[in-house]
Amino acid sequence: MKILTVIGARPQFVKASVVSRAIGKYNLNARQTPIQEILVHTGQHFDDNMSAVFFREMEIPQAQHNLGINNCNQGAMTGRMLEQIESVILNERPDLVLVYGDTNSTLAGALAAAKLNIPVAHVEAGLRSFNKCMPEEINRILTDHVSQWLFCPTETAVKNLTNEGFEVNKNLDKDQEKIFMVGDVMLDAVNYYKSKAQPGEYIDQILKRVPGGFYLSTIHRSENTDDPNRLKNIIESLEIISDQTPVILPLHPRTRAAMEKNGIQAKRIIMVEPLGYFDMISLLSRCIAVFTDSGGLQKEAYFFEKPCVTLRQETEWTELVDSGFNILSGTDVQAILNAESELKKREYDFSLRLYGSGNAGESIIKILVGS
């Protein structure tokens, strides 16, 4: 079996590392023809801190195809990816195409495969924010609707898909679509890498600046970075919060550019360069709480037993909100400050298992091979 895996953004590198490792484990024990994985890196995240460091740290094989597509508007980026991925598929002739999450790389890979009648497997299927102003929401909906295998991380994701008319596949031996509840590959990744993620010299220097504890924050969603008022409100809120509790903010290139363009300054927030996965989970394991607009970091906060404030009006990970681990604040200054006060008051039961048992990668490969 030849699997063509399309990745392009840093969360996808983490997710793909789990399934690639499961493929390697399967090949070691395979009694039949082994799996050949062909990696395609679209280039959506391309510099060392946003890309190469993930491949090094997580022992991901180098991509056989690196398309180098970045710094484009949404339509141009997706279109260029679609064109070039189609050429790769025609050359490689895979048995299926595997995509992750909800980025432009995800949609381009899925569409290119579907138009060539190549089956698509979507890891992290079924997520819905129900906000179609988000590019990610459009990407995930369209990807789900052209996929043959929908690998869901939560029961909520399964419910979303069944509400849209998909059917749950209860017999893994049948070669029919569609929905499989496998758990979250990000949990697999955290379980595997957390013991390896020891803070390096750079993180040690940062931690020396916050001996009494700190909040960890990330801001990168276009809905926040492209709106000067939203971004200004978020930064102002984190500045106020920093008076009492230091805030460490690894600064996404898009966020840095937007701050510079709009004259938004931060004097008290500890802003650092984008970090590799190991450095991020080193900080995550040591922080008090998380303030983010990232989908992945909301879950990782939960995996490390940290409360989270989500700087958006909605989230795909509704079970975190329903269970009290996550507070939706939006971008209003007072709402963010109120959320910080609220998270200090709550009691948390992190023994709940919301995202499976940590074996999603192996479950995915078992299903694909069995199919």
First to last CA, the chain: 11
Q: For residues 274 and 252, is the Cβ–Cβ distance under 8 A?
A: yes
Residues with a catalytic annotation lie at 220
Q: Examine residue 350 and state whether it is found in any structural domain, yes or no.
A: no
Residues 244 and 180 in one domain: no
Q: Examine residue 105 and state whether it is found in any structural domain, yes or no.
A: yes
CATH assignment at residue 22: 3.40.50.2000
Q: Examine residue 6 and state whether it is found in any structural domain, yes or no.
A: yes
Domains held by the chain: number: 2
Residues 255 and 339 in one domain: yes
Cα–Cα distance, 123 to 185 (Å, whole number): 8
pLDDT > 90 in the chain, percent: 80
Residues 42 and 173 in one domain: yes
Residues 79 and 154 in one domain: yes
Residues 159 and 22 in one domain: yes
Cα–Cα distance, 210 to 290 (Å, whole number): 15
Question: Do you know the residue count of the chain?
Answer: 371
Residues 133 and 277 in one domain: no
What is the predicted pLDDT for the residue at 170?
A: 60
* Predicted confidence pLDDT, tens digits, the chain (371 residues): 999 999 998 889 999 999 999 999 999 987 777 999 999 999 876 655 555 676 777 778 789 999 999 888 889 999 999 999 999 999 999 999 999 999 999 999 999 999 999 999 999 999 999 999 889 999 999 999 999 999 999 999 999 999 999 877 665 444 455 899 999 999 999 999 988 878 789 999 999 999 999 999 999 999 999 999 999 999 999 999 999 999 999 998 889 999 999 999 999 999 999 888 889 999 999 999 999 999 999 999 999 999 999 999 999 999 999 999 999 999 999 999 999 999 999 999 999 999 999 999 999 999 999 86
Q: Examine residue 193 and state whether it is found in any structural domain, yes or no.
A: no
What is the predicted pLDDT for the residue at 174?
A: 47
Q: Examine residue 48 and state whether it is found in any structural domain, yes or no.
A: yes
What Å distances lie between residue 211 and 208, 240, 246, CA to CA? 6, 19, 10
Q: Examine residue 14 and state whether it is found in any structural domain, yes or no.
A: yes
Q: For residues 128 and 140, is the Cβ–Cβ distance under 8 A?
A: yes
Residues 334 and 227 in one domain: yes
pLDDT tens-place string over residues 86-140: 999 999 999 999 999 999 999 999 999 999 999 999 999 999 999 998 899 999 9
How do strand 270-272 and strand 96-100 relate by DSSP bridges? unpaired
pLDDT tens-place string over residues 294-331: 999 999 999 999 999 999 999 999 999 999 999 999 99
Cα–Cα distance, 104 to 8 (Å, whole number): 8
What is the predicted pLDDT for the residue at 169?
A: 63
pTM attached to this predicted model: 0.89
Q: 69: domain range?
A: 2-184+356-370
Residues 105 and 25 in one domain: yes
Residues 116 and 244 in one domain: no
Residues 312 and 234 in one domain: yes
Q: Examine residue 20 and state whether it is found in any structural domain, yes or no.
A: yes
Q: Give me the chain's average pLDDT, please.
A: 92
Residues 156 and 126 in one domain: yes
Q: Examine residue 90 and state whether it is found in any structural domain, yes or no.
A: yes
Cα–Cα distance, 92 to 102 (Å, whole number): 24
3-state secondary structure string across the chain: CEEEEEECCHHHHHHHHHHHHHHHHHHHHCCCCCCEEEEEECCCCCCHHHHHHHHHHCCCCCCCEECCCCCCCHHHHHHHHHHHHHHHHHHHCCCEEEEECCCHHHHHHHHHHHHCCCCEEEECCCCCCCCCCCHHHHHHHHHHHCCCEEEECCHHHHHHHHHCCCCECCCCCCCCCCEEECCCHHHHHHHHHCCCCCCCHHHHHHHHCCCCCCEEEECCCHHHHCCHHHHHHHHHHHHHHHCCCCEEEECCHHHHHHHHHCCCCCCCCEEECCCCHHHHHHHHHHCCEEEECCHHHHHHHHHCCCCEEECCCCCCCHHHHHCCCEEECCCCHHHHHHHHHHHHHCCCCCCCCCCCCCCHHHHHHHHHHHC
Residues 159 and 279 in one domain: no
